[in-house]
Amino acid sequence: MRYVRMPLLLLALLCPSASSAATRASYAVVVSKQTRNQHDWSRVVDALVEKHAADVVVYDAEVNESVGPLRKLHPRYTCFVATPAEATRQFVADVHVLTRTLDDDPYTDTLWGILTGYDAAGALRVVRHREPLVVRRVGSGTDVALEMCEEGVCYDELVKNKTVQKKPGGQPIESRGPDDTTASLVGLLNDDRADLFVTSGHATERNWMIGFRYRNGRFVSAAGQMWGLDTAGRRIDIDATRPKVYLPIGNCLMGHIDGPDAMALAWMNDAGVHQMIGYTVPTWYGYMGWGCLDYFVEQPGRYTLAEAFHANQHALIHRLETYFPELTSAQIKPGGRIVPTSLSAEAKAAGLSPIDGAGLLHDRDVVAFYGDPKWSATMATAPTAWDQTLDERDGLYTFTITPNRGTKTFEPINTNGSQRGGRPIVHFFPSRLTNIRLIEDNGLKPVIADYFLLIPNPQEYDPNRRYVVRFKASEVE
């Protein structure tokens, strides 16, 4: 591939060995030999192969052993099938590292997901569900941009009794809700009134504490089941079947599978969750969690959840590359921290501190994406803050950005949480590209990799004009 990250700068070609082996493989399943040889989990692999015409890569002991075959296949999607015992926080970190090494740029090279479940039957149920999900109803335990959603309700973790509701065709309306929102949140799940569920606040691998600044109930998990426990000690069982996606954007440890009682397994087994993200360690910086809202909810219909997750990952790596390049190749244990001893001129000009570098590196490899990455879950389409289009004619690609909100086009819509806003524009190509040559960039400083384009969030722009990036490229055969 060719990787362009600054105006008129063309970086190294894809190494000849990888180029000669490149194929149009669109989907790969990666699985350990031990799991492949288990009858029930082998059925999960076979179902993915049948569903996506997938190639299968089997490794002996460590997932990074699959790097060679994956470099040859260079699939657009990669699904790592893993038992709960295999899907550790280190496994999640290893998948992050592995999927950045399929070519010569620092970005993730395939849209990946880890398919697991409380048992193989649960994982197989997820694979066999083929109907795409369009998120029309949102339920949340924290404030989100309901104005970008078709319908939804938020119970605020920060302000007691604050409830915001939006009905189809209307505007978000704030009202006074109950002191204890446990039953209301369980009801959103049990009544199948939520296609997307969002949470934040204190959590462990066994519970989610609903209130952050005030006393409220909690969700508890054990043996693949989950229930609410209100402030009076009343148990409210959860039994939800509607396929949905889950974003615990500000929760510690919600993605850490440390045994059969893990919350992540209960969400997938007992609450109908088919795709979710989750921190495998305590979260304090928040870039990889909260930023998924910037791409998925605040640009409705533009990305699948898998694409939004990876767009945010690209944004994080670009931020590291731009302001803390010395950390880009650093490897730390999940939850570890490296604080830069000095700042670049670019970081100082952007108002960043050494803690920002430490936070970005901390977040880079500790958020899991669970589910089949090719399954499509998108927000219901709504007007976005800007339009972005990619046209191709005879190998000339034209990417056009059209502001829609005047001087507020590139400002965040909702600022609840941590590290909100400022995300770059990301566009995924319909096919993999090579021989990339930048023709025109209008000062936008694009990054053009083999399957996506990234443009830093514009700081100065004319809201009445369109912005264009043009480049030449060839599709990979």
pLDDT, tens digit, for every residue of 109-146? 999 999 999 999 999 999 999 999 999 999 999 999 99
Q: Report residue 473's pLDDT band, with 50, 70 and 90 as the boundaries.
A: very high
Nearest to 1 by CA among 395, 451, 311, 445: 451
Q: Which pLDDT value is given to residue 192? A: 82
Q: Are residues 296 and 433 in the same domain?
A: no
Q: Which pLDDT value is given to residue 356? A: 98
- For residues 69 and 63, give the distance between their C-alpha atoms in angstroms, rounded to a whole number: 12
Q: Report residue 7's pLDDT band, with 50, 70 and 90 as the boundaries.
A: very low
What residues contact 305, with CB distance under 8 A and at least 6 apart?
245, 275, 292, 296, 377, 378
Q: Which pLDDT value is given to residue 25? A: 63
Q: Which pLDDT value is given to residue 24? A: 47
Asked whether residue 285 is assigned to any structural domain, the reply reads yes
The per-residue pLDDT for range 285-322, each reduced to its tens digit, is 999 999 999 999 999 999 999 999 999 999 999 999 99
Q: What is the CATH classification number for the domain harbouring 471?
A: 2.60.40
Average pLDDT estimate for 239-264: 97
The per-residue pLDDT for range 262-272, each reduced to its tens digit, is 999 999 999 99
Residue 340, pLDDT above cutoff 70: yes
Q: Are residues 294 and 209 in the same domain?
A: yes
Residue percentage of the chain with pLDDT more than 90: 93
The mean of the pLDDT values for the chain is: 94
Q: Are residues 151 and 261 in the same domain?
A: yes
Q: Interhelix angle for 39-52 vs 120-128, to 10°?
A: 10
Give the end of a domain, one of 306, 330, 359: 306
Which domain does 469 fall in, by range?
A: 383-475
Asked whether residue 355 is assigned to any structural domain, the reply reads no
Q: Which pLDDT value is given to residue 75? A: 97
Q: Are residues 295 and 388 in the same domain?
A: no
Asked whether residue 344 is assigned to any structural domain, the reply reads no
Q: How many CB atoms lie within 10 A of CB 57?
A: 21
The per-residue pLDDT for range 57-79, each reduced to its tens digit, is 999 999 999 999 999 999 999 99
Average pLDDT estimate for 91-106: 97
> Burial of 77 by CB count in 10 Å (0-12 exposed, 13-18 middle, 19+ buried)?
buried
Give the end of a domain, one of 282, 306, 330: 306
Whose structure tokens read 């369109």? 466
Q: Are residues 299 and 391 in the same domain?
A: no
Q: Are residues 155 and 248 in the same domain?
A: yes
Residue 12, pLDDT above cutoff 60: no
Q: Which pLDDT value is given to residue 436? A: 97
353 with 266: CB under 8 angstroms?
A: no
Asked whether residue 404 is assigned to any structural domain, the reply reads yes
Average pLDDT estimate for 153-160: 97
Please tell me whether the overall predicted TM-score, pTM, comes out greater than 0.75 for this model.
Answer: yes
